[in-house]
Structure 1
C-alpha cells in the first residue's frame, strides 16, 4: 500500500526500509458480494499453502473465474510484497488445481533485484542468490535435494519450511525472514475468527494483564468491571469424547510440563489446562456490579451482547497493535460493533503503533469511517464488481479528491462507484410494483 501524493495525516506514512514507504492502513469499501471477502480469502489461501501445503492425495485449493471461458482455464497468481528483516521482498506463485506453474522469491534493493529462487513451468528450480550465500558443495546440494523433492503440487517455500535448512546451510536468512513473516507477522481475521482468546483467559490470573484488559473494557463502555475464571469439571462440559481426545493430544504436543488452550463451547469461553497428564478447565466469567448495592453479579460470556463478545476478540488484537511488527487483515471489521467503537479502535491503533512497523488492512461497509480526519484518501480503497469481475481501486489515484472533500457523501451518492445498484434494475422495480398491486 504505497503512499500517494497527499500530505495529510503524515504519521500514517512509515518507512522501515529506505526507499520503500508504506501506509499503516488500507480500508476496503464496497457493496455486498463485491469481492472484498474473496480478496482476503485469497491472502489467507497463500499463507495456508506456504505453511501447510497440499496433501499428496488432494488437489490444490483452486477456484478459477468461471464467468469467462478464457479465464476459466488460466492459472491464478498471488503476489506478496513483504517488508521484513530490514529488507524488501516479493514472493509469488501461479497455480491451478494440479500444479504450481511458477514460483519466485526476490530480494529487492533500490538498485538491484536478487533472485533468491525461481521456479518455471517445467518445474526447474534455480537458486542463484541462495547459491551465492551458500557456496559450499554440501550446502547447495542439500538445497538442490529439497528442490528436486518438491512435487508439482507443493510450493518450494513450503518444502523449505518443513526441512531443517538453518542447520545445514551458511545463510538462508532471507528465506527464514519471509517464512517468519507468514507464520508470525501476517494475521488474518474473519468475522467468526476468535483471535488469541487465550490471552484474555490467562489475563484473569495475571494481575498486570488484567489491569490492561479491564481498562480497555471500561474504555469501550461495556459495563464490565472485572473478569474471573471459575473452576468447572472438564468431564461435565458435554464435550464429545473424540473432541476431548483431540484437545488432550494437541496440548500434549508441547514439551512444557504445563500447557494451556482456549475452547469456545456453546458461546462460552474456557481455559483448558494440561498438567502431568490431567486436564482441568476454567470458565471465563464477567463481573458487573448492581446499581443499588454494588454487589457483584457474575455473567458467562454467552450472556453478554454480540458486541461485547466481539470486543473480547479485539482486545488481544489491540495489545498486538501496541507490541508492533504485525500485519492484520480483517474482514468486516465493523461486525457487531457500533461505528464509534470501530473508530476508537482505529484511533488506538494509530496512537500506539506510531513508532512500530504494524499495518492494518480491513474491509468494511461502514461509510462513517470514510473521512479524511481519520483516513488518508490514499488509504481508502473501493471494490467494485462489473459483469462478475471485481476491481480494486484507490480513491486517491482514481479521483484525486481535495484534502477537505467530504468523501462519505460523494461515495453514498454514487460518485465513486462500488455501491449496490438495486435502484438501476428496472425489471426488479417493475416486479416489486406488480407484487404490491397483486397484494391489494
Structure 2
C-alpha cells in the first residue's frame, strides 16, 4: 500500500509537495475503512481525493505518479538513449533546468520501501532505494549520476544491471528487466499502478484517453477487455451493478480498423438481448465506465493503486460514489487496493445519515498561486469539527481551492 508520494519541480508543482495516505486521528480508530499494515506503525487509507478549481494543478499530482511508474517500468526499453528524460519541469522562475524529484514510500509483501529519483531533461541525477525487511532501515541503492553504491543486502545480478544502466535510465528499471529477485516486489508494485483519464508527455498508458483520437481510444479499450478472462468477467459484473442495462459485452474482429487495432467492443442490452450495439453508439458515460472497469478490477484484485482524473467525468454521481465505496470497503477490497482521484463533485463531501463517503483525512485540495505554482494540502489543516458541513464549507471558500469568478453581468444575449 502507498504510504506517501512526494514530487517537486514537475509541471505546476514547483516546490516539493507531499500526499500522504496515513490516517489522521480524526475519528474512531475502529473505522472499517482503515487498513492496518503490520510493518507500518499507523493505519493507512484506501482512498484520497483532491479538489480544486480548473487549472489548479490537482491533476498534475496524479500525472506525476503516473510518470514515475512510466520511468520505472519503461525507461530501459521505452526511452531512447539519445532523447534524454521526458519530464516536464516547472516552466517559470528559472526552474526548467533544475532537477525534478519523485519519491514514494509503500509497503508490499510485508516490507516497507522508500524509493525515489531526481532527473533533469538529459539524465538521472540521483536514485535511491531503502528497505525495512526486518524492521530496521537498510540502504539498498544510492546513485549519484553514473556512480552507484549497492547495499550488501541487495544480493543478485547487480553488476550486469550497473553495466546496462544508461544515463537517462533508472537502475531499478534495468535490474527488474534483468530479473533481479530482491527487486521484483518493488517492480511489481509499480506495475500495479493503473491510470485512467491521465495523459502525460509519453502518452503510453493504454487506458488513458487524453492523447488519443476517438478511434484509437475505442481500440485500446477493446484491447483491455480481451487481455484477461477473469478481468472480463468481473468488469462485466461491475457494469451490471451500475444499472446501465448492459447484460453482456464482447470483442469482435474488424478488418477495416486503423493500423495497430483489430478489435472493437459490442454491447447487448436488457431491452433487446438479440442485438449487439457498437461501443461507438453508447453514451459518453457508458464509454467512460467501460474504459475504467478493467483497470478498477485489476487494481482491486492485485491490491494496486488506481489513479482517476476527474472521476465524475460523464458519470452519474452515484456511480462515482460507488467506485469510492468499492475501495473503502474491506469486503469488496480485501487486498488493500487504493484509489487516488480528482473531482469537482462536491456531493462526495456531503453529510449522510450513514457514515460519510470520505473521512476528513481522505480529502485534499490543490491551489495555484499568482506565480503559477500549485500547492496541495489536506482538509485536516483546517481541523473541521465532526458536525461541520464540509460541502457547504468548501463552496463558501472556507478551505480555499475554489475559483473566484468575475462579474459576468455584462454579457448580453
Secondary structure, counterpart of 2:32 in structure 1: helix
Report if the CA contact (8 A) 1:328-1:359 is conserved. Answer: yes
- Matched residue, 1:275: none
Q: Deviations over 1:132-180 (max 9, x none)?
A: 453xxxx6xx523432442222111112123243xxxxxx42x111011
1:151 aligns with 2:166: yes
For 1:76 and 1:336, locate their aligned partners in 2 and report how far apart those are by CA, in whole Å: 33
Alignment correspondent of 1:364: 343
Give the counterpart of 1:176 among 156, 175, 184. Answer: 184
Report if the CA contact (8 A) 2:249-2:267 is conserved: yes
Q: CA RMSD in A?
A: 2.9
Q: Does 1:327 align with 2:311?
A: no
Aligned equivalents of 1:214, 1:124: Cα separation in 2: 50
Hey, which of these two has a bigger chunk of helix by percent?
1
Residues 228 and 63 (structure 1), Cα distance of their counterparts in 2 relative to 1, 3 Å cut? closer
Contact between 1:92 and 1:104, CA under 8 Å: does it hold in 2?
yes
Alignment equivalent of 2:362, drawn from 367, 379, 401: 379
Distance 1:19 1:226, change over 3 A: closer
Structure 1 contact 286–301 (Cα < 8 Å) conserved: no
**Where in structure 2 are there 5+ consecutive unaligned residues?**
1-20, 199-207, 210-216
CA spacing shift, 1:31–1:85, aligned 2, 3 Å: same
Q: How does 1:407-426 map to 2 (within 5 A)?
A: 407-423=390-406
Aligned to 1:5: 25
Alpha-carbon displacement from aligned partner over 1:43-102 (angstroms, at most 9, x marks no partner): 111111111112112121122212213x33321100011211211101100110112111
3-state SS of the aligned residue for 2:358? coil
Which of 43, 47, 64 aligns to 2:65? It is: 43
**What is the 5 A alignment of 1:36-435?**
36-53=58-75, 54-69=79-94, 71-108=95-132, 112-121=136-145, 123-128=146-151, 131-134=152-155, 142-165=157-180, 172-173=181-182, 175-183=183-191, 185-190=192-197, 192-193=208-209, 197-198=222-223, 200=225, 215-228=237-250, 234-235=254-255, 237=256, 239-240=257-258, 243=259, 246=260, 263=263, 269-270=264-265, 284-289=266-271, 296-320=274-298, 322-351=300-329, 352-371=331-350, 373-387=356-370, 388-396=372-380, 398-423=381-406, 429=407
Q: Secondary structure of the equivalent of 1:17?
A: coil
* Gap runs ≥5 in structure 1: 166-171, 248-261, 264-268, 271-283, 424-428
Structure with max Cα Rg? 1
| CA separation of 1:307 and 1:384: change in aligned 2, threshold 3 A | same
CA contact (8 A) 2:305 2:338 kept: yes
Q: Do the aligned residues in 2 keep the contact of 1:367 with 1:408 (CA within 8 Å)?
A: yes
Give the Cα separation in 2 of the matches to 1:90 and 1:50: 14
Pairing partner for 1:17 from 38, 58, 63: 38
TM-score when normalising by structure 2: 0.79
Q: Give the ranges of 4+ consecutive aligned residues of structure 1 lying more than 6 Å apart after TM superposition.
A: 208-211
Cα gap change, 1:402/1:324 in structure 2, threshold over 3 Å: closer, same or farther?
farther
Q: Provide TM-score, normalisation by structure 1.
A: 0.75
Match of 2:212 in 1: none
Q: Is the 8 A contact 1:84 1:177 kept in 2?
A: yes
What secondary structure, in the 3-state scheme, does the structure 2 residue paired with 1:83 have? strand
